[in-house]
Amino acid sequence: MANAEERRFEVLRAIVADYVANQEPVGSKAIVERHNLGVSSATVRNDMATLEEEGYITQPHTSAGRVPTDKGYRLFVDRLSEIKPLSAAERRAITTFLDSGTDLDDVLRRSVRLLAQLTRQVAVVQYPMLTNAKVRHLEVVPLTPARLMLVLITDNGRVDQRTVDLGDIITEEDVTRLRTVLNAAMAGRRLNEASARVAELPEKSPGELRDALIRVTTVLVESLAEHPEERLVLGGTANLTRNVADFPGSLRQVLEALEEQVVVLKLLAAARNPGAITVRIGEENEDEQMRSTSVVSIGYGRDDVVLGGMGVVGPTRMDYPGTIAAVRAVANYVGQILAGR
C-alpha cells in the first residue's frame, strides 16, 4: 500500500508540475510521456481516479485532464523534502543588490522589487516591528539657534527624523546637555520604556533646560509610538494581471484586499520565527477576498528575534519550490544586513 501511495503522490507531483508550467489540465497520456514513472497509462488513470475521489485533483471541464485542488497543493507543499537552493550567481545578485541599499527604507524597497522579480508575484515586506526595538542613539542637531532636528536610531535599523521649534534661542552648550540627558534616559531601552523615561525628564531637569525639554520630549514621545500606516512596502501588483484566468471572477477582490494594510499584515502574522516558512493555500486564507491566492511568508530578523515579516502573494497555481527558495534567501540576507547596521 505504501508503494501505491507513493506512486499516487508522484502522479500528483507530475500534475502539479505540468499544470504550474503550462496552465493546462493534465491527462494520463501526458504524465506517462513527460515523467518517468515506470507505469502504464491505465495505472496512472486509476491513480488519478483515486486522487480525484480523495479531493487532491479535479476535472475542470469535460476534457480528460485534471488540475490540482487546494488540498492537492497542500499535500505537495507538505511533502517538499528539499527546496532547490538558489544558484551561486542568484545569491551573489541578491547580496550585491541589497548590500547597496543606503538605509532601511532603501533596503526594504529593494527587497520588495527583488522578490517580485524573482517570483513574478506580488511581494510584501513589513517594516521592522517596534515592539522589541531598543533605542541605539538619539542625535540632536541644531538647524538654527531656535530649531533642532532629532534623529532617533533604533537597533533594528529604523531611523526617525523630527524637527522641533523651541520658541527661544538655545546655546550650543545647552544642546550638548540636552543630547546627554536624553541619551542617558533612552539609550539601550525598549521604546515603550524609553518613552516613559523621556516623559518624566522635564520635571527633573534644571530650570534653564525645562522649556526646551518640554518641547523636545513632546515630539519624542510621539516618535516612539507605533505608526502602523508606515509599516508595509508592496510591489509587483501588476504581476497578478499576467494570468487573469488564475483568479476567475476574483482578481479585483484580491487587488482591493492588497490595498488594505490590515489584510496584508494579517497575512504576515504567522511569520514569528526567522527562517520558518509559512504557506497558506486558497481556502486556508482567513480573508475571503484572498481565497483564490496562496501566500508564502517568513519572518526576517537576527539572533532568533523577528524584526518583521515578508512574503509573496500569487495564484494557487504557483511554483512553490522556487517561491519558497526566493522568499527564504531574501529574508536571510535582509536579516544579515540589518544585523550589521
- How many CB atoms are closer than 10 A to CB 1? 5
One domain for residues 167 and 312: no
One domain for residues 121 and 240: yes
Residue 230's closest CA among 108, 321, 62, 317?
108
Model confidence pLDDT, tens digit, residues 124-149: 998 887 666 788 889 999 998 888 99
Measured distance CA(239)–CA(268) in Å, rounded: 20
Element containing residue 326 per DSSP (H, E) = helix 320-339
The CATH number of whichever domain residue 196 belongs to comes to 3.30.390.60
One domain for residues 221 and 261: no
One domain for residues 113 and 147: no
Measured distance CA(48)–CA(67) in Å, rounded: 10
Domain range for 336 is 88-127+231-340
One domain for residues 331 and 235: yes
One domain for residues 206 and 152: yes
- Considering its fold, how many domains does the chain have in total? 3
Model confidence pLDDT, tens digit, residues 243-269: 888 887 788 888 888 888 778 877 776
Burial of 194 (0-12, 13-18, 19+ CB in 10 A): buried
pLDDT at 152: 87
Most confident segment among 169-183, 213-227, 296-310, 326-340: 169-183
One domain for residues 96 and 235: yes
Phi first, then psi: what are they for 163, rounded to 5°?
A: -110, 150
pLDDT grade, residue 26 (50/70/90)? very high
One domain for residues 95 and 66: no
Per DSSP, what are the bridge partners of residue 33? none
Model confidence pLDDT, tens digit, residues 27-42: 999 999 999 888 888 9
The CATH number of whichever domain residue 326 belongs to comes to 3.30.450.40
SS3 133: coil
Choosing from 228, 252, 270, the residue where a domain stops is: 228
One domain for residues 18 and 152: no
Choosing from 228, 244, 265, the residue where a domain stops is: 228
pLDDT at 1: 40
| Grid coordinates of 320 | 512553490
Choosing from 228, 247, 282, the residue where a domain stops is: 228
One domain for residues 237 and 221: no
Q: What percent of the chain has pLDDT over 90?
A: 36
Per DSSP, what are the bridge partners of residue 132? none
| Grid coordinates of 45 | 488513470
Instruction: Report the chain's mean pLDDT, rounded to a whole number.
Output: 86
DSSP 170: -
pLDDT at 226: 58
pTM: 0.77
Measured distance CA(44)–CA(329) in Å, rounded: 36
pLDDT at 124: 93
Measured distance CA(239)–CA(258) in Å, rounded: 13
**282 with 73: CB under 8 angstroms?**
yes
Q: Is 341's pLDDT higher than 60? A: no
- How many CB atoms are closer than 10 A to CB 146? 14
Residue with cell 476534457: 63
One domain for residues 58 and 101: no
Give me the sheet containing 135-144, strands edge to edge: 135-144, 147-154, 159-165
Measured distance CA(105)–CA(238) in Å, rounded: 22
Residue 196's closest CA among 217, 167, 165, 226?
217
One domain for residues 177 and 298: no
